[in-house]
Structures are given as C-alpha cells and as structure tokens.
Amino acid sequence: MSKHKSHDVGEKNDQDTKIRAVVERGPKNNPQPQVTPQAIKNLRRIIGGRRPNLVFLSNTKLTSTEIRVFLGEQWMILLGLFVDCIGRSSGLTMLWKKQLSVTFLSCSFHHIDILLKRMLDDHEWCFTGFYGYPETQSKFKTCDLLLDLKVQSVLPKLIGGDSNEIMFNSEKNSGPLKSHSILDVFQNTLATCDLFDLGY
C-alpha cells in the first residue's frame, strides 16, 4: 500500500472554463464527457450546502487536479487525500474540513484509511473510505483487504463507500442470485473484522 501526502488547496480558479475543458477531455476512443455538469453541481451543493465534516468519493475516474477544479472555491475550507484514477477507471478522494485532526494511515487503489481525533477529549477512531473490487474473479481481494485493515489498528473503525459486494440476495435488484457459499465468505469476513452493516 502506498502513501499519499495531503493537499491543502486554497487557489481560486476560472471555474467555468476549466470545468468545461476537463469534462470535454477524454480518451480518444471515448469522446463522451466523463463527468456531467449535473454531477459537478450536485457535489458542490452537498459540500457547500450541507457542509459535511468529511466526504469520501469512490470510483471518481478523475485525477486530484480535476477534483480540485470541479469543487472550485470549496477548496478554500477543505483538505484532501487522493488516489488518482488509472486511465479512466478507479480514483478515490477523501475530503475533510481543515479544523479536523486527521492522520493518514494507508491507501491503495481500493481504500483510503485515516485516523481522526476528537478535539474535546482526544478520543481516536479510524475511518476507511472503501471501494471493493468490482471484477467477479477478484472479489476475494475485497475480503483480503478488509482483513488486512483489521490487523493494522485496534481502534474503533467506520468503513464507508462501496464494497461492490452484497451480504444477502435480497439486496440484488437484477441478475442471477449469488450462491450462498459466496455470500458466506463476505459475511464471515465482516464478522471476523467485527464489522456490521449500519443499513445505509
């Protein structure tokens, strides 16, 4: 797992021009925009309107530079960690308010792990932004990564993101049902890691 430095960005940009340039740029064999203007608008509204303390974005298909451009002036109040996309796949972003006490722990193309400290009493806990392996043949790597993260810290942990896996067939909206043996592997991994589904 590689380590990434946090970025403190406070630079104003000509937002409309730069966003238009980035959205229209893409692989030669895929001229369609990678990020829609509506998606950019929604992200800005969530961060600017609801003002969350921490935000995790998975499978962004963007570089850190593009994320900064899309957020525009929201960067004035945020710090961030990034795992850049490969071509136009993957890409992770973790953003938080500057007043939070955050320590980087580890990252890969499928996770960003940080330590947070509560200012009032120095209580520490971990947050992991997670993006599971989407390929069927690589599902076992999702479980392996969760088990690796389990042994790295004994502190309380919250994991958010997209595991690209389900616990029960009732969670499926379409397609064939998964075998119980496959479901059992993921369920057992969560149990081993002392994790339970919050239902969101």
Profile the chain (200 residues) by mean pLDDT over runs of 10 residues: 36 32 35 60 80 91 86 77 87 91 95 91 93 94 97 94 93 88 94 89
The verdict on 92 and 132 lying in the same domain is no
CA 167 to chain centre: 20
User: What is the distance between the alpha carbons of residues 90 and 110, in angstroms, rounded to a whole number?
Assistant: 8
Count of domains for the chain? 2
Q: What is the pLDDT of residue 32?
A: 39
The verdict on 86 and 106 lying in the same domain is no
**Would you say the pTM of this structure is higher than 0.95?**
no
Question: What DSSP line would sit under 143-176, residue for residue?
Answer: HHHHHHHHHH--S-EEEEEE-S--SSGGG-SSSP
Strand order in 124-131's β-sheet?
Answer: 101-108, 111-117, 124-131, 157-162
Using DSSP's 3-state secondary structure scheme, residue 51 falls into coil
The verdict on 104 and 185 lying in the same domain is yes
End residue of a domain, out of 98, 133, 155 = 98
The verdict on 92 and 33 lying in the same domain is yes
State in Å, rounded, how far the first CA of the chain is from the last one: 28
User: What is the distance between the alpha carbons of residues 49 and 193, in angstroms, rounded to a whole number?
Assistant: 35
End residue of a domain, out of 72, 98, 124 = 98
User: What is the distance between the alpha carbons of residues 12 and 171, in angstroms, rounded to a whole number?
Assistant: 43
Distances (CA, A) of 171 to 13, 20, 32, 164: 42, 37, 31, 12
The verdict on 199 and 105 lying in the same domain is yes
Q: What is the pLDDT of residue 18?
A: 31
The verdict on 115 and 194 lying in the same domain is yes
End residue of a domain, out of 59, 82, 98 = 98
The verdict on 104 and 142 lying in the same domain is yes
**Which of 139, 119, 141, 132 has its CA nearest to residue 160?**
132
The verdict on 71 and 158 lying in the same domain is no
Q: What is the pLDDT of residue 35?
A: 66
The verdict on 75 and 156 lying in the same domain is no
37-45 and 15-24 are packed helices; what angle lies between their axes, rounded to 10 degrees?
Answer: 130
The verdict on 80 and 4 lying in the same domain is yes
User: What is the distance between the alpha carbons of residues 108 and 2, in angstroms, rounded to a whole number?
Assistant: 6
The verdict on 1 and 93 lying in the same domain is yes
- Domain residues for the domain of 1 are 1-98
The verdict on 126 and 153 lying in the same domain is yes
CATH number of the domain within which 158 lies: 3.60.10.10
Q: What is the pLDDT of residue 12?
A: 31
What does the block give as tokens for 39?
């998606």
Contacts of 102 (CB under 8 A, 6+ apart): 6, 79, 96, 114, 115, 116
User: What is the distance between the alpha carbons of residues 33 and 52, in angstroms, rounded to a whole number?
Assistant: 27
User: What is the distance between the alpha carbons of residues 63 and 67, in angstroms, rounded to a whole number?
Assistant: 6
